[in-house]
Every structure is written in structure tokens, then in C-alpha cells.
Chains A and B, each alone.
Chain A
Amino acid sequence: MLPVLPGVITFGVITGVAMIGAGLSAWGAVAMSVLVFAGTAQLAALQLAAAGASLPVIFFAGLIINLRFALYSLSISRYVGHAPRGLRIALSYLLSDNGYAHAVARFGVHPDEPRKPEYLLGSEIMIWTAWQAATLAGIAVGTGLPRAWSLEFIVTLTFLALAASSIRDRPGLAAASASAAIAIAAYALPYRLGLLLATGAGVAAGLVAERWTRSRSPA
């Protein structure tokens, strides 16, 4: 049992309930969970679709949210880059936040781990299985709850919790604040284009704040 599994299961159940809360059918939710296998992007897409965003905006939002996987892919490729192509294709589908974090920590402590690609594959299969089972449970629970409970608000609250844990320092807070300001100022733009504007402004504000913090601190 991996130490990350309780967290995976909790977020899986939440995602299952929230997908139903966002108005998806049970089969649609299962298809999305298997094909996309990225909880945050799934919930963001459903929330944006419900708010009337166009498909290109949803696509770019998904791309931005999934950018972190490219960073994991880059970082883990030094351990698995030499593996056979089939194994690398499987890992490209399975690579997850928790599997990446677990493997990098493990390979840091045990650099002589003999079969690193296979180790990562095994961890990711465990995580995938736990995630899909938890999502199914969430879908079943969500389908049984009354619509009057406003379950779609769970999606917003999940993002709120994730946003709070992603703000670790002042530049991070600057990024979030600028993003919030632009998101409100740009509310009248169609297709939720404000999301992309706000994200760009937030990243720019974070970079500026980081440079400013660094230039003021004694080197």
C-alpha cells in the first residue's frame, strides 16, 4: 500500500460526486474519468461548460491546468527515459501527481533502485485502480443525492482548497490576487475568456513579485 493512497481515494470520491453535481450522467462521468484521468482538469472543464465557456477556452484551460504534468514528465524522464516504448506509453497515460511525488521521493532516497520504470508503473497502476474505484463510489453517491443540495458548489470549494494549498509564499499570493482582480474585472467577456486573461496576469504578477522580493533581500 502506497502512503499516498488515502489522499487519492478522498479526492477520487469528491471528484465523482462533483462530476454528477456538475450535471454529468453516470456514464459520461465514467468515460471522462477513464479517458482524461486528471481530476482537476475534469472538474474545471465541467464548471466552465456549465458557465457557458466555448470548447476552445475549455481546451486551453485544460492545457494550462495539465501543464504541471509536462513538468513531471521532464523531471521523471531521467529515470524512465531509457525504458521500452510500450512501457513509456503506459506511463504517459498513468503519470499522476501522487505517483510522481512518491516515485521522485523514493528514487531520491534509493538511487540504486534497480527497475525504476517498472517501480513507477506498479505505483501508478495502484493509484489508477484506487482512483477509478473511488470515482465510481463518488458517482454512485452523487447520483443518490438530491439536486437541491447544490452539489456543484463542491467543485468550487475543491478548487478553493487546492488554491489555498498552492499559495506558499508572497509571490504566490501576488499571483492569486492579480488573477482574482482580473477574473472579476473581465467577467463580462464571452466564453469565460476572462479565465485565460486572469491566469496570464496572475503568472506575470507572480514573476514580477518574485523578482522584486529577490532584489530586496540580501543575496
Chain B
Amino acid sequence: MDTLTLAGLILALAATSFGARSSFILFLGRRAASPTVQRALRFVPPAVLTALVVPELVLAAGGPSLVGNARLAAGLVAAAVAWKTRNTLLTILVGMLCLHALRLLGYGA
């Protein structure tokens, strides 16, 4: 990434985080968001986080790849650990170990 693109990226992101944080504290004052908006916001984390994870695990260079895909296999093991333990650090350690063990064994790229 060149410096100009990176600067644009950082400033755009800074605008989203300061904008969201300041919204009510600084600008809108003490109001109430509508119940529908509050209910919808509850589903944003599972929806957006899943949308970030799944393509990284499933997609290879040419499209979806389910067999011989070390990232997917390691990701599934890590998902089981995450679901059972709710421990971020352990999930990362198990996932990284799986990825490298599978590659050492010659499974996938």
C-alpha cells in the first residue's frame, strides 16, 4: 500500500470511529434511538464479523475451495475452540498451530 492510500485509509477510519463515538456525547445530546434500530444493532457484530471471516477461510485464488484448503481446516478447528472456550488467545494459538501442522503434513497450501 502506498503512503497516500494508507493516509486516506487511516483518515477515513478515524472519521468513522470519532464520528460514532462523538454522535450523542457531543452532538445529539440525550435522546433515545428507536427500538427497531437498537434491535438491529444487536445483530451487527455476528453478521459483520462472520462476513469478514468466511471468505478468508473458504476462498482460494480461483473461488470457493472446500477440499485441500489448510486455512479452512485450521479455521474449523479454531471455530470449535472459540465456541467451546470463548478464549481469543487460545483460539489464535490453536488456529495458527493447525495451519502450520497441516502445511508441514502437506495438506493444502
Q: Which residues of A are in contact with B by a Cβ distance under 8 Å?
A: 10-11, 14, 23-24, 28, 31-32, 35-38, 41-42, 44-45, 47-49, 51, 55, 58-59, 61-74, 76-78, 80-81, 85, 88-89, 91-93, 95, 149-150, 153-167, 171-173, 175-180, 182-184, 187-188, 192, 194-195, 198-203, 205-207, 210
Q: Which residues of B are in contact with A by a Cβ distance under 8 Å?
A: 1, 5-6, 8-26, 28-33, 38-59, 63-64, 71, 74-75, 78-79, 82-83, 86-89, 91-92, 95-96, 99-100
Residue contact B26 to A88, C-beta cutoff 8 Å: yes
Residue contact B43 to A171, C-beta cutoff 8 Å: yes
Q: How far is the CA of A82 from the CA of B50 in the complex (A)?
A: 38
Interchain Cβ contacts within 8 Å, total number:
278
Residue contact A45 to B82, C-beta cutoff 8 Å: no
Ordered by A's residue number, 26 sampled pairs between the chains whose C-beta atoms are within 8 Å are A14-B88, A24-B1, A28-B10, A36-B13, A36-B17, A58-B9, A65-B44, A70-B21, A77-B28, A81-B24, A89-B22, A91-B25, A150-B100, A153-B74, A153-B95, A157-B75, A160-B78, A164-B91, A166-B46, A166-B49, A177-B50, A179-B47, A182-B51, A195-B51, A198-B54, A199-B48
A153: which of B14, B30, B31, B99 is its contact (CB, 8 Å)?
Answer: B99
Q: How far is the CA of A198 from the CA of B45 in the complex (A)?
A: 12
Residue contact B55 to A183, C-beta cutoff 8 Å: yes
Interface of chain B: mostly helix, strand, loop or mixed: helix
Q: How far is the CA of A37 from the CA of B22 in the complex (A)?
A: 14
Chain B nearest CB: distance from A168 CB in Å? 9
Q: How far is the CA of A62 from the CA of B28 in the complex (A)?
A: 21
Residue contact A61 to B99, C-beta cutoff 8 Å: no
Q: How far is the CA of A162 from the CA of B32 in the complex (A)?
A: 27
Taking each of B19, B24, B40, B89, which has the highest tally of chain A beta carbons within 10 Å of its own beta carbon?
B24
Residue contact A203 to B43, C-beta cutoff 8 Å: yes
A62: which of B17, B21, B23, B64 is its contact (CB, 8 Å)?
Answer: B17
Given contacts A160-B82, A203-B40, contact A62 B13 (CB under 8 A): yes
Given contacts A161-B87, A163-B53, A210-B39, contact A64 B48 (CB under 8 A): yes
Residue contact B22 to A198, C-beta cutoff 8 Å: no
Q: How far is the CA of A35 from the CA of B23 in the complex (A)?
A: 17
B49: which of A14, A78, A93, A162 is its contact (CB, 8 Å)?
Answer: A162
Q: How far is the CA of A203 from the CA of B44 in the complex (A)?
A: 6
